Structure 1
């Protein structure tokens, strides 16, 4: 090895391995894919070993690359933490803040928290990512995540906001005029249900609870969607019964396009939580965001 590689090249390598994509890593780092590719070729030449397997469609680490990145990741996290601690001496929070969220939660945040935060802290840039899938926020470089309480990993610090949540079964008055409404969850087997596909590709089993009795129903249905707003729209259009967040159905319910069924089987559940790893330094921008979150929800 002719010389020691620099920190930018090592961070770039770690980003490529994390994303398994030059394009996504380049977007994350604010570089062009061609610049990133040139950096990796120079790094491999400098180290005298191949670090990445490249094809026209994919990129993956070699054994040497995987071992190097495995050793680098905790060191890079320590460097980021050290830099964040220096930021504590700034008079105001500054820099990027990356939060992974569900789309429903993001809509709620955009109504009040985000505008107030951006107005109060003009030196912070907020990257709010709504991929749908539940990610490892530490491994993928997020400062925090936002999900329903049941989806928050146990080793995280969690901050509740927005009150309780509720999932409801809904149908249009027209559909219920032609089909007797279900009295118990098992009655759904006799109905046209609008199914929900999880980001993993699996269908979601509808979950109900009453007096301590819990049921999970694999409902029938010819229509499957991957977005709850679309499910509520489809139900309002008379296409069947949907099981969605109360927030998604609320506008349709208020105007009479949807009514709830199986109400006594749909109790409130713990709502949304912002969560972050408790074992590392909390960036000033995240602390500021949490303060605004508590004020506005």
Structure 2
């Protein structure tokens, strides 16, 4: 390979675009992440394919997938590009003030509970840091997906990650409106839920959550049924207040409605607590000054 060809194919920005498309399997999603137009990405990828004289993506009107050559190029580039970005971050850390983009992946509930209370103060304190927060209920690979850190319940953090506890235990509550209980009665034991309308929760992976109860070492997992299934827990609380059925949600989401009587608890002595939320990140990657500053603020609350 001649020097000119090496220089052309070594364009860092073009390779960054290529890896973003490879990660998202979408020109549009890559464009949103990198704040460029889809046409600019399409033109850059086409030019890269012409330089290399090989097709990197299979494109249809509905999908984008890597060719074998594209898969091999992406596999070789990922560690190299990660090293380059970490080197740039390490140099950037010599600045006195944290800066750069910090990408966080978290569920909507975690964003509301942990991040929202500190966002304004953090961004005022560190104006050179840009937070890119993605609400995602799936338990994806934050490293492969290009995130600096994730926030999840402690039990969901992969074992190879460094976890920073942010919140105490999280307790679930089975709740419904007084009107619902007036019409249908109140369950006394978890098995009674099979006779009730329940508001189910579906993970973004498509799996349905089985309600977990525990008392004095005895565990019950109930595959409830009902007229409504949602992927948003705050909407489950709203549906319970509307009298649709019983919802099983983290109790902080229902605290206000429980306090003013719009919702009531059942099975309280069966509702378990789980280890709380953690921020987690890879121990094999450089931790940027921006992420360190965010961790420091979150853990000082």
TM-score scaled to structure 2, two decimals? 0.95
Query: Residue 38 of structure 1: which of 17, 35, 43 is its match?
Result: 43
Tell me the residue number matched to 2:214.
Answer: 209
Tell me the equivalent position of 1:291.
296
Which of the numbers 110, 117, 120 marks the counterpart of 1:115? 120
- Are residues 1:236 and 2:241 paired? yes
Match of 1:3 in 2: 5
Distance (Å, rounded) in 2 between the aligned partners of 1:23 and 1:153: 29
Is the 1:52–1:62 contact (alpha carbons within 8 Å) kept by the matching residues of 2? yes
Contact 1:208 1:265 (8 Å CA) reproduced? yes
How far did 1:112 drift? Answer: 2.4
Structure 1 segment 109-148 matched on structure 2, within 5 A: 109-148=114-153
Matched, 1:262 2:267: yes
Q: Distance in 2 between matches of 1:176 and 1:44?
A: 64
Cα distance, 1:17 vs. partner?
A: 0.7
> For 2:77 and 2:257, how far apart are their aligned partners in 1?
51
- For residues 127-150 of structure 1, give each alpha carbon's deviation from its aligned partner in whole angstroms, at most 9, with x where no partner exists: 111022222100011000001111
Alignment of 1:63 with 2:68, yes or no, is: yes
> Contact between 2:114 and 2:166, CA under 8 Å: does it hold in 1?
no
- Aligned counterpart in structure 2 of residue 15 of structure 1, from 1, 12, 20: 20
> Could you tell me how far 1:221 is from its partner in structure 2?
0.8
Q: Which one of 175, 189, 206 corresponds to residue 194 of structure 2?
A: 189
| Equivalent residue pairs, number | 296
Alpha-carbon distance between aligned partners in 2 of 1:146 and 1:242, rounded to the nearest angstrom: 23
The aligned residue for residue 97 of structure 1 is 102
SS at the partner of 1:244? strand
How far residue 55 of structure 1 moved from its aligned partner, in angstroms, is 1.1
Q: Which runs of 5+ in 1 are unaligned?
A: none
2:176–2:245 contact (8 Å) kept in structure 1: yes
Q: Secondary structure at the match of 1:3?
A: helix
Contact 1:116–1:292 (CA<8 Å) still a contact in 2? Answer: no
Q: CA deviation at 1:56?
A: 1.6
What is the TM-score with the length of structure 1 in the denominator?
0.96
Return the alpha-carbon distance in structure 2 between the equivalents of residues 204 and 265 of structure 1. 17
Q: Provide the rounded CA distance (Å) in 2 between the counterparts of 1:88 and 1:173.
A: 56
Residue 24 (1) aligns with residue 26 (2): no
Residue deviations 1:211-254 (CA, integer Å, cap 9, x gap):
22222110021211221111111111111111011121111101
Q: Name structure 2 gaps, 5 residues minimum.
A: none
RMSD over equivalenced CA pairs, Å: 1.3
Q: CA deviation at 1:179?
A: 2.3
Deviation at 1:111, TM superposition (A): 4.1
Shift of 1:110: 4.5
Aligned CA distance change for structure 1 residues 69 and 111 (closer, same or farther; 3 Å): closer
Q: Does 1:198 align with 2:203?
A: yes
Query: Of 56, 67, 70, which aligns to 1:51?
Result: 56
